[in-house]
Structure 1
Amino acid sequence: MSVTTPNTPHETVDPVDDGLEKAVVKKWKAPIAFAIFVIISALLFFVARRDGVTELRLSAENDAIKLPSIEAPVMATGIVVVILLALMTAGAFWLANQAKRIPLWLTAVFGIVFMYGFLTWAGADKSIPITGLLLGSVALSAPLIFGALGGVISERVGVVNVAIEGQLLAGAFLSAFVASITRNPFAGLLAAIVAGVLVSFVLAAFAIKYLVDQVIVGVVLNVLVAGLTSFLYSTVLSSNTEAFNTPPRLPRIPIPLLSDIPILGRVLFDQTIIIYLMYIAIALVFYGLFFTKWGLRLRAVGEHPQAADTVGIRVNSTRFWNVSIAGAIAGLGGAYFTLGSVGGFTKEMTAGAGFIALAAVIFGRWDPIRATLAALLFGFATNLQNTLGAIGSGVPSEFLLMLPYLVTIFAVAGLVGQVRGPAASGKPYIKS
């Protein structure tokens, strides 16, 4: 007779050796999510049927290398898409039944096929600019990525950062104000970093030194920054918009050769400096977190502060300064609103981006690369709403308005579910 033991997936021990047979854990969350999307696809193409041909434009008029557009008949494309999705879902169920991990590439291919089918259905008899869709997605994802990177650092070191929204909003306000006064967008970037750090100082002081509940401090800071920036906008910026709220925009800097690559060239390599700083931040945070002494100390403090303390790491000091670094990164994300996108500050212009960035942290399982991909997904969903509305798609406008938030909820609750963050995150450390 064999006995099963929990928490040891994918391994089986010969009972002759020790009389124990370890349990095999089968995870069905992803296959079930795949099946739901197959049902949604079938409903779209066969119940809410739309006829016609969708044009997917792969190049713009000023592209150096032009690609031909794709003309996809809606019904034929729908049949092929549903079949492909069903086959991938069957494969996912088989892998889950074998207690095997569903590879990331399968999930990525599934998502691309589904999105191709959805665009074909939503854009029936319309023309969808793919380059514009991706370009806008990167723009809308930029503040989310900066916020998510700050959230990853903060939570990895043991401090729950609900104040990302406040850091983004403070960065947006101060960058617009300073850039308008100095007529220098780079001064605005530095001001945004300072603003994010100042908000983080308050979060760190109350959460680390005074042991106040970190979630409550974060919520209060968001309300405080929203109220303060709204007050200063009404009393200072609005009184003289030309002097105080007309920041110069950051210019686009195309990278030679790379910017001429079809589709991705304009999307990734014909951007403002803040987007290039985003690429650098992603690489530095990932490398620093997992391949440097700084990252090892940071993760040790977030996982087991007592053990870190015994080897000489100053836990609270490490937490304080890393929360400040996280705020500096999030502040840069706020600068994108005013210096790279909108061009001026308005009340509560972040519109909940900080909370979506926090969702990206959880969806990305506190990993900078996965959190970045999650932020890109949410940004894509937001811009898809804008693009479909601009081309006059027949999709109900109410659904389009809900789309980014539906994707966020489904991603965090449906695909992620219950996950374990850093063990000491949210727990104050009192040196014994």
Structure 2
Amino acid sequence: MSNNENNEIRDSFTSKTGFILACIGSAVGMGNIWLFPYRVGQFGGAAFLIPYIIFIVLLGYTGLMGEFAFGRMTQTGPIGSFKKALETKNKNWGGFLGIIPVVGAFGIAVGYAVVVGWFLRFLGGFITGSAMSAADSGAYFGELASPFGSIIWHLLALILVSIVLISGISKGIETMNKIMMPAFYILFVIVMVRVFMLDGAFEGIKYLVVPKWSSLMEPKTWIYALGQAFFSLSLAGSGMIVYGSYLKRDVDIMSSAKNTVIFDTLGAFLAGLVIIPAVFAFNLDPASGPPLLFITIPSVFKLMPFGRLFGVIFFISVLFASITSLMNLLEVPIEAVQSTFKLKRKLSVFIVVGAAFIFGLFAEDGNNLGVLMDFVSIYIIPIGAFIAAVMFFWVIGIEKAKCEIECGTDKKLGKLFEISAKYVFVFLTIFVFIAGILLGGIG
């Protein structure tokens, strides 16, 4: 199943480092920046990190390695992968199931493109000074998040990402992630050092790192830690399968998954160490979601010495994080269109990006955007991850799955992996789906 009739012309990552950085770029996104710090403070400070680390290691050890290996084995995205899996059982309807995660990735991409446009607008606002001089940051953002309020910025975001995507995997996605992801960490560290110098920042650090052990007795702490880990790793039966399909067979999948988990967690905690101490220093509300990044944080920079400069640095860094995530999300439907209809890459990019822009026009209203993102994340993403896990670990079979994951390394997977992948991970995808419905989203 590792052979593909188009394998000779299929683009691929040129190095393990490039692949890992692309996966980190996909994983480090808005969930890390505008939700993780809030969740840590909401559910016990450093105590929240215990269930979070348990779940992110477990999910990385099972689901993430599985999606990487599934894509590499089949050399195609979800539609082709699910189709090939069921063909081993003489079933020919796997491709229809593969449409589910493709639609999920496209739906999130539609919303993400709007958010990237907002970041571009705020970056421009800090460069020109208009964001600093605005009397009310809430009103400034409100104009942008109104119906058809950010068409130009939204379009510009998609044009910038399209340029990268048209360039392909090695020259486009890999190259940009090699630049943007190291820059993201460096720029965030610069802002973090400045934030730590603010009076009152120490209270924000305490909010993040002082454990409230009683929170570990609350079921919601564990549920939201699971949700944060699950969505942070981009487990959806889509993007990581596609990236895995561009992977060479000599790459160590176990090591790649481990590094993705480590740097994704580091990015999330780094975001917390920038945002929460800054918010506490000026006695503002550490809210979650768009209000944090587009109302609260701009208010912080207005009050901070040299705030305009650090506002520029901050929004460049979060722009990089969001662009690398958007590239992965859009690559899923692009690969699906390209493979299914045998179209050239440029035309596939044009079709998908054009559709994303048209649908995104209606998501520019902040309320509509929230409804779209919640629907996809609650209903579609966990189902996609569940189907992918069943296809790889059950339909293809755990022994073949283990062999594929072990390809490229001398390490061997034991019985613990079999139990964790076939039963624990599959159960957790179902749990995320049910908990998301009951709680209105957990990640």
The structure richer in helix per residue is 2
Q: What is the TM-score when the length of structure 1 is the normalising length?
A: 0.31
The structure richer in strand per residue is 1
Of structures 1 and 2, the larger Rg is shown by 1
Larger relative contact order (CA 8 Å, sep ≥ 6): 2
